Every structure is written in C-alpha cells, then in structure tokens.
C-alpha cells in the first residue's frame, strides 16, 4: 500500500504539521505501507485559473507548466493521500487549497448524482484513493475545526475518494516545543495508531478518534495566558494593556526579602531582583514560576514589569514560564557547577510555557550582585 502525505504548511518541515505527519506515517510504515511526503512549500504550484482547459481542450492536462503534474502522478500511484495543513482562517492554508484546486484534472467533467449530492467521477481508473486530513490550530478549543470538518465531510465521496478520518489537533504549537515533548506524547501516540489503522482497516477507529478530538491543552486558559505572554515577550501590548502574567497585585504571592547568603533555592530566588538587568529586560512583562522539588520543595516566582523585578513565595496564576527542578539541580545550574542547557537537554529539569524566556535568563539576571553569595 502506498501512502502519500502532502504537507501544506508554509513552514514546511519545521512545522507542527510535519510533527503530526511524521507520527502518522511511522504508524503507516509499522503496518507495512510505503510512504512518501511532498512539502508543497518547496514546490512551484500556481493557482487554478478556472479555465477548465483540463476538462476540454487538453483533457487531464493543466495549462500550467509547474510542479503539480508530478504531484498528480504521485497521487494516482497512491492508495491513501494525507492532506495535512495548519488551520488558517478556520480552513486550510492557501498553499493546500491551491493544491486541492489543482487536482481538478483527476476528475471527469460529468456531473453525476452521488447519494444526496452531485459530484464528478474519477477521470482515471487508478484515480481512486482514501484520504486522511491532518490539521492543527493555534486556538486550544477543538470546536475551532467545526468548519473544516463540515467541508471534508461533504467531500467524502464513498468508494472513489473516501474520508478515512480527520486528525484535528487543537493547541498545535505545543507540538514543537522540545521542553514539553513528553506532555504531548499521548497525542502523538494516538496519531501513530491512526496511521496503523488506516493501513490495516482503512479508517481511523472511533477509539482513536475520541483521543484525537481532545485538545493538547489540558488547561485552555493557562495555554492562552502562556501564548499571550509569548507575544508580550516580543514587546506586543495586549488589548486593554492588561497583563495577567506580570500583574503583582493579582497574584497573591508573599514577597520574599533578599537573603544575606545563599544556601537554598529560596535564598537564590530572593536575590534575583538584585541581579536583575532592566536594560536586558527592555519592556518585557512576565512571571517566572519555580516549582522546586526534592531536598527543599517550594514554589516561588519572580515578576518582571516596567523594568522592575520582584520575588515572591507562592504560585502565580498565569506564569509565562515554569521551571520544574530538583533543588540541587537548580542550585548547581545557578552557580555554574552544572551547564544549564546540558542539564535541560538531559532532562534534569523541565520547563513548561514560554521556553524562550529561559534562554534570556542569563542576560536578565546578569546585573548587580552575583547570583550566589
């Protein structure tokens, strides 16, 4: 069985679409299929002009001399075609829509009744295939895909081009943050299972669909706050100028006085405001939460707002980023005894939320007194 995947994200192989596609294709290969991927962003695919030459003057052949005829050949050789696109404006990306429009030469112009609907028969005997739709959305609510699901439900043409299932991943940007890969693995496992099922039984099972219709974001409001904090880290003002991530009056934490010397993570965090560099922060507004485990468990956070930094004990309601670390690991990273990046890569501590803030950590806390006394 041949499975052809069309990646319609303008972000190509670096996209969330590609993460989902690769999980799906690995399942298809496990079940014995041959797989191939076409990244539409790497090809020259022009818009359909609506001239219908492919139905009249040159049957089956488009007026455009670009890369699409080669893709159509690949589609004709495939048993399953995967249409993978990010959700753009509640629909497909323009790139994917162009690709689908350019599949017109595969249809015969005859208008025939097909159940309650009308459609066009396949031009070629080998032009029948099953298809799977894979999409991901920036918003965390699964209802974001209602329009896309309705559209593809209508394009389901029974045996000629049957819809074998749709994978609609809400909060898709969580897929490409390496620090939270473990948190999204349950979803990717279900996508791989779907790939196996499409090859083995021709469709995605109801059990797998039940999982695939869940949002990646368990806490949708928390996800929205993290995304907002991400945009704010570029200096973007939120509507109304409010910033839940840094608003010290709202968070309910207890201020911590700077410790004389550092022997615990609490001491360390109490001294972060003293080493804070307002120059490096520019107009950053953020809340950094520390979730410290093992020897001296504790929850602390620092807020950064208007060029000032303050330290608190407690749990911030909408942190921009959360560092989950055993006490000794964070003490060693802060003193330089442990390389922060290497410790992160080897899983000695975890980060959730806006990881890019962590990358700014050293410069944000590079001024004033040294971190460790």
Ligand X SMILES: Cc1cc2nc3c(=O)[nH]c(=O)nc-3n(C[C@H](O)[C@H](O)[C@H](O)COP(=O)(O)O)c2cc1C
Residue 87 to residue 10: CA distance in whole angstroms: 12
Binding site for ligand X (CB under 6 A): 9, 11, 15-17, 86-90, 136-139, 144, 172-173
What is the smallest separation between the CB atom of 119 and ligand X, expressed in angstroms? 27
Q: Give the residue with the Cβ less far from ligand X, 17 or 78.
A: 17
Tell the smallest beta-carbon distance from residue 10 to ligand X (Å): 7
Residue 139: CB minimum distance to ligand X, A = 3
* CA 122 from centre of chain: 35
Sheet holding 2-7, edge to edge: 34-39, 2-7, 80-86, 129-137, 161-170
Query: Whose Cβ is closer to ligand X: residue 171's or residue 311's?
Result: 171
Q: What distances in angstroms separate CA 31 from CA 34, 42, 195, 202, one per listed residue? A: 9, 28, 8, 12
What does the alpha-carbon distance between residue 248 and residue 69 come to, in Å, rounded to a whole number?
59
Nearer to ligand X, 135 or 303 (CB): 135
The residue count of the chain comes to 373
Cβ proximity to ligand X: between 174 and 272 the closer is: 174
Kindly state the smallest distance separating residue 364's Cβ from ligand X, in Å: 27
Region at 213 (left for phi over 0; alpha for psi -120 to 50; beta for the rest): alpha
The Cα–Cα gap between 129 and 83 comes to 12
- Within the chain, residue ranges assigned H as helices are 16-30, 68-76, 94-101, 146-155, 181-201, 206-212, 220-232, 248-251, 265-270, 278-281, 327-335, 340-345, 355-359, 361-364
Nearest approach in angstroms of CB 181 to ligand X is 15
Token digits for 357? 């803030």
Task: State which residue, 6 or 304, has the beta carbon closest to ligand X.
Answer: 6
Cβ-based neighbours of 346, under 8 Å, separated by 6 or more: none
Of 87 and 246, CB closest to ligand X:
87
Contact 160, 121 (CB under 8 A): yes
- Retrieve residue 193's tokens: 């299972």
Closest CB to ligand X among 96 and 325? 96
CB of residue 78 vs ligand X: minimum separation in angstroms?
22
Taking the complex as a whole, the smallest distance from the CB of residue 199 to ligand X amounts, in Å, to: 23
Q: Which is nearer to ligand X, 105 or 172 (CB)?
A: 172
As measured in angstroms, the least distance from the Cβ of 18 to ligand X is 7
The strand pairing partners of 129, in sequence order, are 161
- Please state the closest distance from residue 285 (CB atom) to ligand X, in A: 22
Using the minimum distance from each CB to ligand X, give the nearer residue, 174 or 281. Answer: 174
Residue with the two structure tokens 């001239």: 51
Q: Which residue has the tokens 């350019």?
A: 102
């Amino acid at each position: 069985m041949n499975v052809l995947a069309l990646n319609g994200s303008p972000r190509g192989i670096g996209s969330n679409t590609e993460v989902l596609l690769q999980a799906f294709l690995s399942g298809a290969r496990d079940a014995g299929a041959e797989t191939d991927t076409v990244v539409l962003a790497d090809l020259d695919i022009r818009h359909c002009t609506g001239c219908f030459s492919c139905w009249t003057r040159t049957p089956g052949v488009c007026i455009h001399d670009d890369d699409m005829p080669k893709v159509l050949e690949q589609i004709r050789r495939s048993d399953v075609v995967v249409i993978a696109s990010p959700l753009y404006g509640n629909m497909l990306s323009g790139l994917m829509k162009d690709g689908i429009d350019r599949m017109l030469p595969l249809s015969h112009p005859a208008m025939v009744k097909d159940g309650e609907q009308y459609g066009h028969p396949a031009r070629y005997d080998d032009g029948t295939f099953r298809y799977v739709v894979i999409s991901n959305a920036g918003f965390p609510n699964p209802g974001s895909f209602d329009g896309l699901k309705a559209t593809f439900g209508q394009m389901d043409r029974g045996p000629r081009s049957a819809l074998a299932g749709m994978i609609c991943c809400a909060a898709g940007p969580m897929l490409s943050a390496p620090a939270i890969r473990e948190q999204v693995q349950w979803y990717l496992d279900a996508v791989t299972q779907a790939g196996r099922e499409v090859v083995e039984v021709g469709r995605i099972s109801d059990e797998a669909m039940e999982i695939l219709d869940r949002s990646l974001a368990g806490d949708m409001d928390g996800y929205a706050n993290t995304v907002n904090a991400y945009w704010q880290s570029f200096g973007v003002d939120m509507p109304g100028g409010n910033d839940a991530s840094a608003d010290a009056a709202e968070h309910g934490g207890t201020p911590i006085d700077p410790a004389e010397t550092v022997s615990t993570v609490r001491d360390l965090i109490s001294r972060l405001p003293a080493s804070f560099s307002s120059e490096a922060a520019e107009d950053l507004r953020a809340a950094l939460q520390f979730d410290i485990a093992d020897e001296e468990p504790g929850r602390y956070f620092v807020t950064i707002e208007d060029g000032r930094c303050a330290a608190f004990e407690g749990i911030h309601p909408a942190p921009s980023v959360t560092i989950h670390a055993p006490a000794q690991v964070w003490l060693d990273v802060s003193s330089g005894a442990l390389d922060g990046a290497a410790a992160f890569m080897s899983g000695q501590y975890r980060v959730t939320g806006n990881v890019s803030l962590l990358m700014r950590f050293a410069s944000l806390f590079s001024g004033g007194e040294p971190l460790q006394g």
